[in-house]
Amino acid sequence: MYSLDKEQVEIITADVQLAGITFSHLPDDLVDHICCEVEILINEGKDFENAYKIVRKQVGIDVLQKIQENTKFLIDKNYRLMKTTMKISGNISLAMLGFGTICKIMHWPGAGILLAFGFLVLCLMFLPMVLYANYKNETKKQNLFLHITALIGCITFMAGVLFKIMHWPGSALLLMVGYLSLLLLFLPTLLFVKLKSAQTKKLKSIYILGIVSLIIFAFSNMFKMFHWPGASVLMIVGAVLLIGLFLPLYTWQMFKMEGKITGQYIYIVTISMFLILFTSLLAINVSKNIVVGFVNQANNTEVINNYLEKKNVKLLSEIENKRDTLELKSKAISIKKNSDELCDYINNVQMELVVSVDNLDKANAKRVIADPMCIMAKDNWDKVNMLMIGLDGNGKAKELKQKLIQYKSNLTSNFKENTEFSKYLDNLINVTDKQNGQFTVSWEESHFYLCSIIRAISTLKELQSGVRMAESAALVNLNNL
């Protein structure tokens, strides 16, 4: 079998170059192809000159240029289209997540749809495309495992977050798989790849430090999310390694190598600030489910209040029927009137709270107070602060306290000799300030400062309950006189 010598190949290469073929590795491919054609003809018995002439008739300069154009059009168009879609889908999905978060926090409608679509676009469009583009772009295509672990880890983790938000079952499993594949497969592989490319020993140790501390830090996040013990220890160790040790070392290395501020450095500092901020914010937050405990308390107290109200009406009518002493009757009626007034007042405070937090009208507010699970922004505390404490400390709580003290003194004036009753009453409606070390915390502050609306509602219901219990005990006392 004949094969072309170096000079003959050079002639063909020169011709191809003359045709203006420059795109990527297309000239090499074309030269290879022409050489093969020529060799076939030579094997059939022709000499090089004639064989090359025949081939050039078939594949002229204009044909070569056409091939180049077609290739460019095909490859570049797909590539550019993909890149544009990738950028747009990435940006839109992240913006959806941002707006979804705000809707979720502010209890606006549409949060679920925005978040679900955001996660879907991010996981099923953006992530696969960006990793494919990166993989294609790399000169050495040997990091397939790195890309696959990144893809699987990111998708399962994000699906876990989505499931958790939407309260779908299986979020814990997804989050666990996502975390583990990112932390135990992706990050070690990344370290391995980085170590291969590192030139100096010092750079190698910096990479090891960075990735190991990142793994520890991320594990603390995972422990926190699953409420496993030891999260705070891991967080402190990981964060100190990452921020206290890795960041200065890395900075020093950058400073020596570059000598100027690069975008990369600004990026790394900003991202580490975000990392600590989010981790600490997550650490000082608790799951939203916890507010249901306050709802249970409010419902329970409401049931008891309804019972007491009925019982007291019955007691009053009993006194009215049995006794003919006018004094006793009027005492009982005034006790009932006082408690009714106070309970109505407390009801109004509840209405005002719900109206200001959820922007409801009166009819809806009434419904919501009867069923506190319906309050949208259950964890809102700043509106409660404004209404109950106020800027100058003269909010509703102060007025309420005065009314409670007034009510108590009115009640006890009826039973001056009964010390046991007044002791019971003092315990039942206790509005004294608390001594906390050297500071005195007022009753208003200890009950309504930084208090979520749901707890404020249940506190107010408890107060109503206290009033009704006191009324009940007083009426029973009167009845037994």
Partner 1 sequence: MKKLIYISGIVSANLMLLGSIFKVQHWPGANILLTLSVFMFCFMFLPFALLSSYKNSSPRKYKSLYIVTYIVFAVVFVGALFKVMHWSGSQYFLIIGVPLPFVLFLPVYLIQTRKEKNYSIVNFMGIMFGMAFVAVFSVLLALNVSWNIMKNYENQFNYNQNLVSNIYTEKANDDNNKNVMQKSKELCAFIESLKNQMLKITENKPENILNVEVNQMESTIPSIVLYNDDKKGNLDELKNKISVFKQSVIASDNASDELKDLSKLLFETETSVISERNGGEIITWENKEFIDFKLIIVLDALTRLESNVKFVENQLISMK
Q: Which amino acid is at 207?
A: Y
Nearer to partner 1, 35 or 353 (CB): 353
Residues in contact with 436: Cβ distance below 8 Å, sequence separation at least 6, in sequence order:
none
Which residue in the set 60, 77, 274, 320 belongs to the binding site for partner 1 (CB under 8 A)? 274
Interface pattern 223-262 for partner 1 (x via CB under 8 A): ----x----x--xx--xx--xx--xx--x--xx---xxxx
DSSP string, 196-223: HH--SHHHHHHHHHHHHHHHHHHHHHHH
CB of 203 to partner 1, least distance (A): 17
Phi, psi (rounded to 5 degrees) for 439 = -90, 150
Residue 79 interacts with partner 1 (CB under 8 A): yes or no: no
Which residue in the set 13, 101, 253, 356 belongs to the binding site for partner 1 (CB under 8 A)? 101
Interface pattern 449-478 for partner 1 (x via CB under 8 A): -xxx--x--xx--x----------x--xx-
CB of 227 to partner 1, least distance (A): 6
Q: Which amino acid is at 464?
A: Q
Residue 414 interacts with partner 1 (CB under 8 A): yes or no: no
Q: Which amino acid is at 148?
A: I
Q: Which amino acid is at 21?
A: I
Residue 280 sits at the vertex; the CA angle it makes with 277 and 285, to the nearest 5 degrees, is: 120
Instruction: For the segment 116-135, give every residue that binds partner 1 (CB under 8 A).
Output: 118, 122, 126, 130, 133-134
As a whole number of angstroms, the distance between CA 96 and CA 114 comes to: 6
Which residue in the set 72, 288, 322, 362 belongs to the binding site for partner 1 (CB under 8 A)? 288
Residue 423, classed as helix, strand or coil, is helix
Instruction: For the segment 362-381, give every residue that binds partner 1 (CB under 8 A).
Output: 379, 381
CB of 334 to partner 1, least distance (A): 20
CB of 16 to partner 1, least distance (A): 25
First to last CA, the chain: 129
Phi, psi (rounded to 5 degrees) for 434 = -105, 140
β-sheet bridge partners, residue 441: 434
CB of 336 to partner 1, least distance (A): 17
Q: How many residues does the chain have?
A: 481
Counting residues that bind partner 1 (by CB under 8 A) gives: 107
CB of 93 to partner 1, least distance (A): 8
Residue 272 interacts with partner 1 (CB under 8 A): yes or no: yes
Residue 148 interacts with partner 1 (CB under 8 A): yes or no: no
Residue 304 interacts with partner 1 (CB under 8 A): yes or no: yes
Residue 279 interacts with partner 1 (CB under 8 A): yes or no: yes
233 CB-side CA count, 13 A: 3
Buried b (16+ CB within 10 A) or exposed e, 133-144: eebeeeeeeebe
Nearer to partner 1, 33 or 135 (CB): 135
Which residue in the set 257, 271, 326, 363 belongs to the binding site for partner 1 (CB under 8 A)? 271
Residue 119: other Cβ atoms inside 10 A: 22
Nearer to partner 1, 52 or 217 (CB): 217
